[in-house]
Structure formats: C-alpha cells, structure tokens
Amino acid sequence: MSQHRPGGLSELPEATVARLPEYLRALHGLAEAGHDTVSSEGLATAAGVNSAKLRKDLSHLGSYGTRGVGYDVALLIEQIEYVLGLTQHRAVALVGVGNLGHALAGYAGFATRGFRIAALFDADPAQIGEVISGLTVHHIRELPRIAAEESISIGVIATPAGAAQAVADQLVAVGVTGILNFAPCVLSVPEGVDVRKVDLAIELQILSFHEHRKAAAGSAGPTASLTALPGGMAGNGASGGNQEAVGS
Amino acid sequence: MSQHRPGGLSELPEATVARLPEYLRALHGLAEAGHDTVSSEGLATAAGVNSAKLRKDLSHLGSYGTRGVGYDVALLIEQIEYVLGLTQHRAVALVGVGNLGHALAGYAGFATRGFRIAALFDADPAQIGEVISGLTVHHIRELPRIAAEESISIGVIATPAGAAQAVADQLVAVGVTGILNFAPCVLSVPEGVDVRKVDLAIELQILSFHEHRKAAAGSAGPTASLTALPGGMAGNGASGGNQEAVGS
DNA sequence: CGCGATTTGTGCACATCTTCACAAGCGCCT
DNA sequence: AGGCGCTTGTGAAGATGTGCACAAATCGCG
Ligand SMILES: NC(=O)c1ccc[n+]([C@@H]2O[C@H](COP(=O)([O-])OP(=O)(O)OC[C@H]3O[C@@H](n4cnc5c(N)ncnc54)[C@H](O)[C@@H]3O)[C@@H](O)[C@H]2O)c1
Ligand SMILES: NC(=O)c1ccc[n+]([C@@H]2O[C@H](COP(=O)([O-])OP(=O)(O)OC[C@H]3O[C@@H](n4cnc5c(N)ncnc54)[C@H](O)[C@@H]3O)[C@@H](O)[C@H]2O)c1
C-alpha cells in the first residue's frame, strides 16, 4: 500500500492541528464509554465536525484506520497525543494570580489533558507566598531560577493588559517559546515564539454581531442592508458628504 | 465615486467579523492616546495584522477612510460598534458560578466592551443568594422569568461539561440565540443558534504541538519526520503489519 | 473461497482567505 | 493652480481549507 510517509510534523495543516485536540477529547469520551473502535462518522459526530474532514485530518498523521471497521480508539489516542507532544506532561508557568489566575490555577483540566502547572507567579507582594491548590505563588523575579529548575516550556499570562508585554518579555528571556495570553492586547515576540490569545470580550462581540445580523434579517427582510448606519456626522463633521446608505 | 453599497451584514466574511473586535480594541487605545486619525499601517500594527488585510476588512463596511490621510478614529469606532451590534449593551446571562464563573462575574471587561451581565445562575443550593460583584446568584429554574424581564440575548456556560448540554437547552428554550461555552464538550443546538467555544486545554495543546514540532526540527534536522512514532502495537495487536514508519 | 456490506483514503472542484502591487484619490505646499 | 507625496481601495494570483463522491480495502458470512 501507499505507506504514505507521514512526512514531518511541519506538514500538518494548521487547521488540522487545531482540530486534533477536539478529536482527542472525543476519543477519551468514547474510550471511557467502552468503545474499542469508532468509525469516522461516529467520531466526527462526537467532535462536531464533518466526517470527510475528519478522515482527511487523520490521514495526515499516517492514519491507521481499517476500512470496513474504523479506527482503533486506544491507538488513535496514542497517535494524537504523540503528535501533539503530550506524551511528556509539559510544565506550564502561570503568571498573574488575580481573579482569573485563581480560577486557572485551580482548574483540573490542566492536569487531565496533558499539562502540569509547575509554578505560579505574581508581582503583588500581598499574593506572594499564598498557596493555591497546593502551589505556592512566587515573585515574578524568581522566574529565571524556577524556569531553569522546572524546564518550563509554556507560559500563561493572566495579568492586566498593561503588564502583559513585560511579562511576555520575561518569559521569552527564560526560554519559553509558547505563550497563552488572556490579556486583551497584542504581544510582540521574537520569531520562533508562538502566541495564542484568548479574549472573552472578542468572543462575545462576534456573537453580538450574529445577533445583530439575525435581528436585521428578521425585521428588514432577506435583503436587509446596513440600515440606520450611524452615518458620518457623529464623531466629527469631516468626511460627511455621502452617507445616504440609509433605508435604501 | 463607487459608493459601493455596503451590501448587508450577511456579506461580511466571517474572517473579517472575527477581526473587527481586535480593531475596535486597538482603536480605543489610539483614541485614548489622543489620535484623531490613523493610517491602515498604524492600525494594522496596533491590531497585530497585515495592513492590506485591514484595509480590505474595512472596505467591507463601506469604509470611510481618506486617501492620503487615513481613517477617522472616532468615526471608525462608531462604525465598527454599530456593525457588531454593540450600540445597545446586550444583556448576558452567566450560568455556573464555580471557579471560573466567579472570575467571569467579576470581570470588568464585560461592561467596558459592550455587555451587561444581567444575571447569574447556578444549580447548587449553596450558591443561590450569594452576591458577586453586586449581582445575586439565582437558581437556574428562575431563568425563564428573568430572561423575559431582562431580554437576555447571550448566554455564557461555565458549568461542568456534563451539565452544559442541559443548560444550553434551557437557554435556547428561553430565546437565547448566542452561546459562549467554556465547558469542554460539543453542544447541539437548533439551527439559528450560534455557539462559540473557549477551551483552555485545546489552546495549550495547540501550543504543545508547536513546541513539539520546534523541538523535532531542532534535534533531527530540517527534514525531521515523525520520528519515534509510538508504532502501532500498543493499543491492540490488530492492524499491526505495516508500521515501519520508524527511522527510515 | 468468494461476495456483499461497510468504511476508509483521496482526487477534484469549489469556497474562502491572504497577500502583493498599483492606480486613483486626497491634502498640503509652493 | 499645479505638482508631489502619502494612503486608500481593489484586482488578481496564490494559498489554504472544505466537502462531495467514489474507488479501494477489509471484514463477516454463507
Ligand atoms: N477575570 C476574567 O474573567 C477575565 C476574562 C477574560 C480576560 N481577562 C483578562 O485576564 C487578565 C487578568 O484578569 P483578572 O481579572 O485576573 O485581573 P486581576 O487584576 O484580578 O489580576 C491580575 C494579577 O496580575 C498581577 N500582576 C500585575 N502585574 C504583574 C506583573 N508585572 N507580573 C506579574 N503579575 C502581575 C496582579 O498582582 C494581579 O494579581 C486581564 O488582562 C483581563 O483583562 C480576565
Ligand atoms: N476553572 C478554569 O480555569 C477553567 C478553565 C477552562 C475551562 N473550564 C471549564 O469551565 C467549566 C467550569 O469550571 P469551574 O472550574 O468553574 O467548575 P466548578 O465545578 O467550580 O463550577 C461549576 C459550577 O456549575 C454549577 N452547575 C453544575 N450544574 C449546573 C446546572 N445544571 N445548572 C447550573 N449550574 C450548574 C455548579 O454548581 C458549580 O457552581 C468546566 O466545564 C471547566 O471544564 C474551567
């Protein structure tokens, strides 16, 4: 047969990488439910995607499905965990144990899904020394020492936006090359460092757009255009001129 | 001139919609810094995107930039807020005030970016009646009454995964058509209801993949292939046969 | 041993998104 | 008034992602 040579990790399409964790979660669920094998259709449903897409995704890993049967659940879990680099539980540093940081520090999903919170950091003297879920909060200035001891590879930033860039710089300085940023700001990092951002407000605003769109479609008919645009005169009088986009 | 007819909200590419909130955040920063106008290059940098992409995105809104000058900051803020439906502060219901829910309930970014937490819900009798950031926690069974009073349009789910689908069903039943789900599970909802999901573990796993990839490239040269694949024999002996994908 | 039922893997066409490159438009300065 | 430099808006090409539809492979069964 083709043998296909899985190529390199670099050849995995980014969109596929983003879905593998979802497949993994679904597979763990299936394994707990006692399934030994699963069809692409079954797994696709559990993961909320199209089955053809799922098959194509899995084929990129060199895929060990069996025609007429499906995929071996345990084997597939192992494959995906390997590809994602989860076989070693990576050490994660969490910086900023405020409102959100406390919740994250106590989150069980860290450990159960391939990670280990290795250390907590903050800059506020009042927080230093506090123990959260068995972990002591260290001053951020201890980051270099602890990063070396624990071989931190991923950093999570849960500080206010104003401090995020400075924290990112410090993380990069101690060798962290993957950052998950909860602060609502753009981080600038050297090439080779990956940043992913989670912003609650952005998610809500995207939902809001769809609410708005649905409402407009309902009230103004299927051809609804940008009705009642704020026009141009509000902020400043300049550039006025031509905003007759109203009503239609 | 072209006049371009902004078409409808429906014509905005989804990728563009997902970036508008980021532009909006950057614009607010620029406004506070005292800028009246901004070039596509400047705004693109502040938002962390390519300037051509930004211009194309803005052109979809009918865009009122001025050649040779740039965009009027205040006007653009207004335009984007209108398109995203933020001119009315939407009412949000938060269900599940555990670890994460507490952090979300106390999050100031809700209010400052176009939303109003209208009510908190939980199922745990121990939580009912508690006041968090000025809001009382209600029993989930009061959802219908309160949803009607407050005209909730968006629901946030911060319950354990096992309860998420039931909560989603209840939200949909009271007319919510936009859901932000923090529970690690797939929600099934009727057509017309939008679900967005935030999963911390998935983000970390994607970062982990890139760490893994970078490490492999470094140690095994640029042509690094899926070295040391777990092989095929672990889960079960079946389907063995042809896993000589090792080394090569 | 062969056949039919089932399910994978993938070629292909289509859709969406990104990026470049540049003409057209605008304001400022002389 | 005219020219110049700057910036937008967009056509076109390429890259990436999606989904259909079907041949190929495998299993179970008679
Ligand atoms: N709370 C939420 O639900 C929520 C949701 C989405 C996003 N966010 C974002 O997450 C971030 C944290 O939110 P929060 O509500 O936990 O804020 P917070 O103010 O409660 O906590 C911030 C913590 O960061 C620490 N800190 C400040 N500067 C630091 C530095 N230089 N180094 C180390 N630690 C530092 C502070 O001492 C504090 O403990 C913010 O950027 C916020 O916008 C929060
Ligand atoms: N804590 C985190 O940092 C974090 C991070 C990412 C994702 N999550 C996810 O967010 C969710 C909540 O996490 P958590 O740590 O806050 O959990 P938690 O157990 O602390 O809180 C869950 C809350 O939901 C309530 N609840 C349970 N069933 C309910 C129902 N049917 N209706 C209404 N309320 C109900 C519980 O009473 C509890 O207060 C989980 O799915 C978790 O996986 C948490």
Lowest mean pLDDT among A50-64, A228-242, B11-25: A228-242
A-facing residues of B in 133-162 (CB < 8 A) are 153-154, 156
Confidence grade of residue B217 (pLDDT, cut at 50, 70, 90): confident
Chains A, B: CB pairs < 8 Å: 307
Average pLDDT over residues A61-76: 93
pLDDT value for B9: 80
Say yes or no: CB of residue A160 within 6 Å of ligand 1.
Answer: yes
The answer to whether position B17 is within a domain reads: yes
pLDDT value for A73: 97
Pair B102, B186 in one domain: yes
The answer to whether position A246 is within a domain reads: no
CB neighbour list of residue B45: distance below 8 Å, 6 or more residues apart: B51
Domains contained in chain A, number: 3
Pair A46, A93 in one domain: no
CB neighbour list of residue A129: distance below 8 Å, 6 or more residues apart: A136, A137
What are the tens digits of pLDDT across the range B24-80? 999 999 999 999 999 999 999 999 999 999 999 999 998 789 999 999 999 999 999
pLDDT value for B236: 36
Amino acid identity of residue B102, one-letter, is H
Pair B150, B183 in one domain: yes
Amino acid identity of residue B19, one-letter, is R
pLDDT value for A243: 31
CB B57 within 8 A of CB B73: no
Pair A95, A185 in one domain: yes
Which residue CA neighbors atom 21 of ligand 2 most closely? B98
CB A115 within 8 A of CB A107: no
CB neighbour list of residue A72: distance below 8 Å, 6 or more residues apart: A36, A37, A64, A66, B235, B236, B238, B239
Å separating the CA of residue A71 from the C1' of nucleotide C8: 9
Report the nearest atom of ligand 2 relative to the CA of B200.
6
State whether residue B42 sits within 8 Å of chain A by CB: no
pLDDT winner (highest mean) among A63-77, A222-236, B218-232 = A63-77
Pair A80, A27 in one domain: yes
CB A78 within 8 A of CB B235: yes
Beta strand B131-132 with B135-139 is antiparallel
What are the tens digits of pLDDT across the range A132-165? 999 999 999 999 999 999 999 999 999 999 999 9
Residues B120 and B108: their CA atoms lie apart, in Å, by 15
pLDDT value for B216: 83
pTM of the model: 0.90
- The CATH number of the domain holding residue A63 is 1.10.10.10
The answer to whether position A24 is within a domain reads: yes
Backbone angles phi and psi of A200, in degrees to 5: -55, -45
Residues B161 and B187: their CA atoms lie apart, in Å, by 10
- The CATH number of the domain holding residue A103 is 3.40.50.720
Pair B53, B67 in one domain: yes
The answer to whether position B80 is within a domain reads: yes
Q: Provide the CA B33 distance to its chain's centre, in angstroms.
A: 26
The answer, yes or no, to whether residue A217 has pLDDT greater than 90, is: no
Pair A194, A207 in one domain: no
Say yes or no: CB of residue B25 within 6 Å of ligand 1.
Answer: no
CB B115 within 8 A of CB B154: yes
Average pLDDT over residues B198-227: 80
* Ligand 1 probe mutation, A97, A132, A140, A159, most atoms within 8 A of CB: A159
Beta strand A37-38 with A90-95 is unpaired
- What residues of A are in contact with residue B178 (Cβ under 8 Å)? 207-208, 210-211
Å separating the CA of residue B115 from the C1' of nucleotide D23: 53
Q: What's the mean pLDDT when you consider all of chain A?
A: 88
The answer to whether position A248 is within a domain reads: no
Say yes or no: CB of residue A123 within 6 Å of ligand 1.
Answer: yes
Pair A45, A131 in one domain: no
The answer to whether position A3 is within a domain reads: no
Domain, as residue range, for B95: 89-198
A-facing residues of B in 175-204 (CB < 8 A) are 177-180, 184-186, 192, 194, 196, 198-204
The answer to whether position B72 is within a domain reads: yes
Pair A59, A109 in one domain: no
pLDDT value for B27: 98
**pLDDT > 70 in chain A, percent:** 85
Contact A83 B212 (CB under 8 A): yes
State whether residue B114 sits within 8 Å of chain A by CB: yes
CA angle, residues B209, A78, A42, in degrees to nearest 5? 100
Pair B116, B158 in one domain: yes
3-state secondary structure B19-74: HHHHHHHHHHHHHHCCCCEECHHHHHHHHCCCHHHHHHHHHCCCCCCECCCEEEHH
Backbone angles phi and psi of B211, in degrees to 5: -60, -45
Confidence grade of residue B219 (pLDDT, cut at 50, 70, 90): low
Structure-block tokens of residue B49? 């995107």
Pair A124, A54 in one domain: no
CA A78 → CA A23, B202, B241, distances in Å?
Answer: 12, 17, 18
Q: Where among A198, A218, A241 does a domain terminate?
A: A198
Pair B138, B178 in one domain: yes
Structure-block tokens of residue A61? 């890993």
- What residues of A are in contact with residue B25 (Cβ under 8 Å)? 184-185, 201-202
Residue with tokens 């009027």: B72
Report the nearest atom of ligand 2 relative to the CA of B102.
16
| Closest CA of chain B from A142, distance in Å | 23
The answer to whether position B236 is within a domain reads: no
Lowest mean pLDDT among A37-51, A76-90, B217-231: B217-231
Q: Provide the CA A59 distance to its chain's centre, in angstroms.
A: 23
